[in-house]
Amino acid sequence: MWRELAPLGRNEDSGGYRRYAWTAADTDCRAWFRAQAEARGLAVETDRNGNQWAWLGDPLAAGAVVTGSHLDSVPDGGAFDGPLGVVSSFAALDELRRRGAEFVRPLAITNFGDEEGARFGLACVGSRLAAGQLTVEAAHRLRDADGITLPQAMEAAGHDPGALGPDPERLARIGAFVELHVEQGRALDLTGDPVGIASAIWPHGRWRFDFRGEANHAGTTRLADRRDPMLTYAETVLAARREAELAGAVATFGKVAVEPNGVNAIPSLVRGWLDSRAADQDTLDTVVAGIEQAAREHAARTGVDLDVVRESFTPEIAFGHALRDEIGALLKGSANRDTGHDIPVLGTGAGHDAGILSASVPTAMLFVRNPTGISHSPAEHADENDCAAGVTALADVLEGLACR
Ligand code: GLV
Ligand code: MN
Ligand code: MN
C-alpha cells in the first residue's frame, strides 16, 4: 500500500506532497482508497460532504466502529500525516482477518476530505461539515488562491456540492471513532515507546492579518514618507514570537501574500496568516490579543491600516476518558510490550478530524512514534517497525471494540 500511495501528489523537486483538496492529486488518492477498499470486499461510499467510507457490515446498523484519517496534505507535507492512519486501518483489517476475528459490529475505514485546509484555508472541512461545525453558507464562501470556490472545486472533481451539510444520522450510528496518526512531536521518542494514546488537543486557530499601506517607488520615496505595511508585518511576526514565548504557547506566521509583490515597489498590501495554539483557552486569547495589540500600535504609528479576521477556531478537545481507558486496557502489555511499561497518554498541539468528531461521537487517537518529531515537512518519518506496532495496536483496539 505504501509503495502505491508514495508517488501520488509527490513533488519531484521538494520531495514533499501537494495533495490539496479536490485537485488531481486528491482524486488519485481517492481512487487509491476505493481500490484498496474494493480489493478487500468493502462497500465504498462518498458521503454528502466528500468524505470516503469503506464498509464491512451494514452501514445503516447502529454502533459502528470507525477508523481512518485523511489523505490530503499541507504544501510539501510528509508522507505520514494522514496516510499512515488510512494505510494502518486497511492493514489492521487484514491482520484481523488473519486472526480469524469475528465482527459483531459494522466496521468502516474513512478518508476525511480536506483535513489540512491547505487550499481553502480552513482545516477539517469534511468532518466540520458532517458534525455541523461549519455551516453550508460558510463552506460556500471558501475560496482558494485562484478565487475558485469550494463548491466549484468539488464539482470539477466530480462531487456534487448540492448536498453539503450536517450528517447527524450518520454520526449517530458510530459507536466509536479511532484515528491512528504519526506523532508530530517527540514525546514517544523521549519515553521510548512506539505507540501512545491521545489525551487532548490544544485549542488552536487561524487569523488573517491584512496590513494596508501605500504602493510607491522603492528608489525615490523618502523613508519618512512611506506607509510600508511590510514593516508592520515584520513587527507583528516578532511580536508573535515574543508573546508565544512569554506564555509557553506557539504562534506562527507561515503564509504571507504581498501586493503588488514587486522587488522595486513598496507594498500596498501584506496579508499574513497567524496560526496560534496553547494549552488552554485563556492563554491562547492572551497571546493573540498581545500580537494584535502590537500590530495595531505599529500600524497606527506608521499610517498603516489593519484588519484582523479569525478564519477558524477549534476549542480545546479532551478525548473522553471512557474510550481512552478502554483502549488503554486493550493495549495493556501489547503495543508497548518491549518497553514493559504502560502505553503513554499524550496531548498534542496538532488538529485532527478526531478532534472535530469528538463533539458528536466517542473518539480516541493512537500516535505512532516520530523519531525526529518533524511534521508538515518532507522530512517527516516513522520507522517501519513502529508503523507495524501501530497496526498491531490498532488491530487490537478494533478487535476489542468490534469483534466477539
Ligand atoms: C493539522 O495538521 C494542523 O494541526 O494544522
Ligand atoms: Mn497535518
Ligand atoms: Mn493529520
What's the CA-to-centroid distance between 179 and ligand 1, angstroms? 14
Predicted local distance difference test score (pLDDT) of residue 339: 66
Atom in ligand 1 nearest the alpha carbon of residue 116: 1
Q: What is the pLDDT of residue 338?
A: 66
Nine cell digits for residue 337: 510490550
Burial 175-202 (b: 16+ CB within 10 A, else e): bbbbbbbbbbbebbbeeebbbbbbbbbb
Q: Is 31 exposed, middle or buried, given 0-12, 13-18 or 19+ CB atoms closer than 10 A?
A: exposed
Distance from Cα 269 to the centre of ligand 3, integer Å: 32
- Cβ neighbours of 140 (radius 10 Å): 14
Q: Are 181 and 366 in contact (CB under 8 A)?
A: yes
| pLDDT score, position 19 | 98
Average pLDDT over residues 131-148: 97
Average pLDDT, the chain: 97
Our mutation pick for probing the ligand 1 site, out of 70, 84, 116, counting the most ligand atoms within 8 A of Cβ, is 116
Ligand 1 probe mutation, 70, 181, 352, most atoms within 8 A of CB: 352
Mean pLDDT of 154-166: 97
C-alpha cell at 134: 461549519
Domains of the chain and any CATH numbers:
2-202+316-402 (3.40.630.10), 204-314 (3.30.70.360)
Whole-angstrom Cα Rg for the chain: 22
Round to whole Å and give the CA distance between 212 and 220. 20
> Can you tell me the distance from the alpha carbon of 398 to that of 85, in angstroms, rounded to the nearest whole number?
13
Distance CA 165, CA 125 (A): 11
- Position 243 scores a pLDDT of 98
Q: How far is the CA of 18 from the centre of ligand 2 (A)?
A: 12
| Span 227-256, average pLDDT | 98
Q: How many angstroms is it from 138 CA to the middle of ligand 2?
A: 22
Question: What is the residue with the minimal CA distance to atom 1 of ligand 1?
Answer: 351
Instruction: Provide the grid cell at 43.
Output: 462497500
pLDDT at residue 313, as a whole number: 95
Q: Which ligand does the CA of 181 lie closest to? A: 3
**The three-state (H, E, C) secondary structure of the chain, written as one string:** CHHHHCCCCECCCCCCECCCCCCHHHHHHHHHHHHHHHHCCCEEEECCCCCEEEEECCCCCCCEEEEEEECCCCCCECCCCCHHHHHHHHHHHHHHHHCCCCECCCEEEEEECCCCCCCCCCCCHHHHHHHCCCCHHHHHHCECCCCCEHHHHHHHCCCCHHHCCCCHHHHHCEEEEEEEEECCCCHHHHHCCCEEEEEEECCEEEEEEEEECCCEECCCCCHHHCCCHHHHHHHHHHHHHHHHHHHCCEEEEEEEEEECCCCCEECCEEEEEEEEECCCHHHHHHHHHHHHHHHHHHHHHHCCEEEEEEEEEECCEECCHHHHHHHHHHHCCCCCCCCCCCCCEEEECCCCHHHHHCCCCCEEEEEECCCCCCCCCCCCCCCHHHHHHHHHHHHHHHHHHHEC
Cell of 336: 508497548
User: Quick check: 401 pLDDT over 90?
Assistant: yes
Instruction: Report the alpha-carbon distance of residue 114 to residue 70 in Å, rounded.
Output: 8
Indicate if the pLDDT at residue 158 is higher than 60.
yes
**Residue 341, pLDDT score:** 76
The pLDDT tens digits for 260-300 are 999 999 999 999 999 999 999 999 999 999 999 999 999 99
Nearest to 114 by CA among 96, 134, 97: 134
The predicted pLDDT at position 335 comes to 56
Kindly report the pTM of this predicted structure.
0.94
Distance 238 CA to ligand 3 centre (A): 28
Q: What is the pLDDT of residues 89-127, one digit of tens each?
A: 999 999 999 999 999 999 999 999 999 999 999 999 999
* pLDDT tens digits along 313-372: 999 999 999 999 999 999 986 656 666 678 999 999 999 999 999 999 999 999 999 999
Choose the residue to mutate in 181, 348, 376 for probing ligand 1, maximizing ligand atoms within 8 Å of C-beta: 376
Q: Please check the confidence at residue 76 and state whether its pLDDT lies above 80.
A: yes
Burial of residue 310 (CB within 10 Å: 0-12, 13-18, 19+) is: exposed
| C-alpha 317 to ligand 3 mean position (Å) | 15
Cα(247)–Cα(3) distance, integer angstroms: 43
33, 54 Cβ separation under 8 angstroms: yes
Binned at pLDDT 50, 70 and 90, residue 27 comes out as very high
Which whole number is the average pLDDT over 131-147?
97
| For the CA of 349, the nearest atom of ligand 1 | 4
Q: What is the pLDDT of residues 195-224, one digit of tens each?
A: 999 999 999 999 999 999 999 999 999 999
pLDDT score for 53:
98
Which residues does ligand 1 sit against, CB inside 6 Å? Answer: 116, 123, 350-351
Percent of the chain whose pLDDT exceeds 70: 98
* Average pLDDT over every residue of 17-41: 98
d(CA 358, CA 362): 6
